[in-house]
């Protein structure tokens, strides 16, 4: 039975982190036809996640390490650890590579001579990421439960007469935010919008006292509920480059018009002016959002096409094809 099991590894540090959510959703998808075990590769894993999802911290003791099968590392790796030398070699070794760190790529591509593991296989989360890394592999969009992320009232006209809400959510760190957006937020408030930023308390010293701008810690409101409270989803990061940007696709699943900086894996799925908008400069972002604020009908039509895009990406058939890659050869 161990040869039939799929083991999924992740740091599992942040209950609201994209990598963690990707690993958990992948586990749910693969558990339809496989026995799946979850392992934490970090000593700082979240107790909340461990208890809720039966995640086992990796270690040397009995029951603390996998024993053969398919090993799937999601945003994690095994180098500089002792446990790999004490377990049966995996039949398949798969890296769901959701970062841009060439050093980690180099670490995973070769094995120490004493470790006779299978040749690494790579899964990237976007063509954008694959192009930048220049490595062969599968391209699978990060799995999302689009039944959870459904359109809210803004998609069916129930917010008429209320101040439109522009928002975003992310990890609450400075690299996820672009300081140039501060002036944009203030300008949109002046145009009659409210700004809701979840995962943005790091901007407190700059925006904490601004009327019309609300800064929330990450995870304050469940992601789907928060997105359904918005009329426009806006996204640009700072030094962090999104290999995929699952929150953008979650917003599209909620039938929101998304306005995003062009440099990110999510851009592969956005057709500018059709199912969302892409920009390169703050001036372009300001013009696009101002246009959407003035035209509720445009917001609705773009959002509807965004939802259809995500439905196609995450159809039953598409999900089964991607899952088949992990089940192959078992």
Residue 129 has pLDDT above 80, yes or no: yes
pLDDT for residue 155: 54
Q: Which two tokens stand for residue 234?
A: 């806006």
pLDDT for residue 183: 97
- Are residues 303 and 322 both part of a single domain? no
Task: Give the integer Cα–Cα distance in Å for 256 and 152.
Answer: 9
pLDDT for residue 1: 44
Task: Give the integer Cα–Cα distance in Å for 321 and 325.
Answer: 7
Which residue do the tokens 């090993």 mark?
71
pLDDT band at 329 (very low <50, low <70, confident <90, very high): low
Number of domains observed in the structure of the chain: 2
- Are residues 42 and 186 both part of a single domain? no
Residue 148 domain-assigned?
A: no
Q: Out of 38-52, 92-106, 119-133, 194-208, which region has the weakest mean confidence (pLDDT)?
A: 92-106
Residue 161 has pLDDT above 80, yes or no: no
pLDDT for residue 159: 56
Residue 284 has pLDDT above 70, yes or no: yes
Task: Give the integer Cα–Cα distance in Å for 5 and 24.
Answer: 16
- Are residues 169 and 112 both part of a single domain? no
Residue 104 has pLDDT above 80, yes or no: no
Task: Return the percentage of the chain with pLDDT > 90, whole number.
Answer: 78
What would the mean pLDDT of 33-47 be, rounded to a whole number? 94
Task: Give the integer Cα–Cα distance in Å for 22 and 326.
Answer: 15
62-91 pLDDT, tens digit per residue, is: 889 998 999 999 988 887 788 998 988 999
- Are residues 61 and 197 both part of a single domain? no
Task: Give the integer Cα–Cα distance in Å for 261 and 244.
Answer: 13
Task: Give the integer Cα–Cα distance in Å for 229 and 155.
Answer: 10
Q: What is the distance of C-alpha 182 from the center of its chain?
A: 24
What would the mean pLDDT of 182-191 be, rounded to a whole number? 97
Residue 182 domain-assigned?
A: yes
CATH number, domain with residue 284: 3.40.50.2000
For the chain, helix (H) and strand (E) counts, in that order, are 11, 13
Give the residue numbers spanning the domain of 318.
2-143+314-327
pLDDT for residue 330: 55
Task: Give the integer Cα–Cα distance in Å for 330 and 322.
Answer: 15
- Are residues 162 and 307 both part of a single domain? yes
- Are residues 93 and 186 both part of a single domain? no
- Are residues 161 and 16 both part of a single domain? no
- Whole-number mean pLDDT of the chain? 92
- Are residues 67 and 79 both part of a single domain? yes
312-325 pLDDT, tens digit per residue, is: 999 999 999 999 99
pLDDT band at 146 (very low <50, low <70, confident <90, very high): very high
pLDDT for residue 106: 77
Task: Return the percentage of the chain with pLDDT > 70, whole number.
Answer: 96
What 3-state class would DSSP assign to 253?
helix
* Residues facing 94 on adjacent strands: 72, 121
pLDDT for residue 2: 52
DSSP for residue 229: T
- Are residues 178 and 242 both part of a single domain? yes
- Nearest to residue 142, comparing CAs of 160, 128, 152? 128
pLDDT for residue 160: 59
> What DSSP line would sit under 124-185, residue for residue?
ES-HHHHHHHT---EE-PPP--TTTS---GGGTTTTTTSPPEEEEE--SSGGGS-TTHHHHH
Pairwise pLDDT comparison (113 vs 155), residue with the higher score: 113
What 3-state class would DSSP assign to 227?
helix
- Are residues 189 and 199 both part of a single domain? yes
Burial environment of residue 120 by CB neighbours within 10 A (0 to 12, 13 to 18, 19 or more) = buried
- Are residues 165 and 139 both part of a single domain? no
- Are residues 197 and 222 both part of a single domain? yes
196-255 pLDDT, tens digit per residue, is: 999 999 999 999 899 999 999 999 999 999 999 999 999 999 999 999 999 999 999 999
What 3-state class would DSSP assign to 113?
coil
What would the mean pLDDT of 284-299 be, rounded to a whole number? 97
Residue 263 domain-assigned?
A: yes
Name the E strands within the chain.
6-10, 36-40, 55-57, 70-74, 92-97, 120-124, 138-139, 165-169, 194-198, 213-216, 232-235, 258-261, 277-279
What would the mean pLDDT of 294-313 be, rounded to a whole number? 97
Residue 238 domain-assigned?
A: yes
């Amino acid at each position: 039975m161990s040869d039939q099991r799929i083991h999924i590894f992740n740091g599992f540090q942040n209950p609201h982190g994209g990598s963690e959510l990707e690993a958990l959703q992948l586990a749910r998808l693969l558990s339809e036809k496989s026995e799946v075990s979850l392992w934490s590769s970090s000593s700082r894993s979240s107790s909340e996640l461990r208890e809720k999802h039966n995640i086992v911290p990796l270690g040397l003791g009995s029951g603390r390490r996998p024993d053969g099968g398919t090993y799937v590392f999601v945003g994690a790796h095994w180098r500089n650890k002792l446990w790999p030398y004490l377990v049966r070699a995996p039949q398949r070794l798969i890296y769901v590579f959701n970062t841009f760190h060439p050093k980690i790529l180099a670490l995973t591509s070769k094995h120490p001579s004493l470790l006779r593991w299978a040749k690494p296989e790579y899964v990237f989360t976007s063509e954008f990421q694959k192009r930048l890394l220049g490595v062969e592999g599968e391209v699978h969009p990060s799995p999302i439960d689009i039944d959870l992320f459904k359109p809210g009232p803004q998609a069916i006209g129930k917010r008429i007469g209320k101040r439109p809400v522009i928002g975003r959510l992310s990890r609450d760190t400075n690299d996820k935010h672009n300081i140039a957006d501060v002036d944009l937020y203030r300008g949109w408030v002046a145009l009659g919008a409210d700004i809701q930023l979840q995962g943005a308390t790091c901007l407190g010293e700059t925006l904490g006292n601004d009327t019309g701008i609300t800064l929330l810690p990450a995870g304050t409101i469940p992601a789907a509920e928060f997105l359904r409270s918005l009329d426009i989803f806006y996204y640009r990061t700072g030094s962090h480059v999104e290999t995929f940007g699952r929150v953008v696709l979650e917003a599209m699943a909620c039938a929101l018009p998304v306005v995003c900086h062009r440099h990110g894996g999510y851009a592969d799925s956005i057709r500018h002016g059709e199912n969302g908008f892409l920009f390169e400069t703050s001036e372009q972002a300001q013009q696009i959002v101002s246009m959407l604020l003035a035209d509720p009908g445009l917001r609705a039509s773009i959002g509807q096409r965004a939802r259809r895009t995500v439905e196609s990406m995450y159809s039953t058939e598409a999900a089964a094809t991607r899952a088949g890659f992990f089940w192959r050869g078992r």
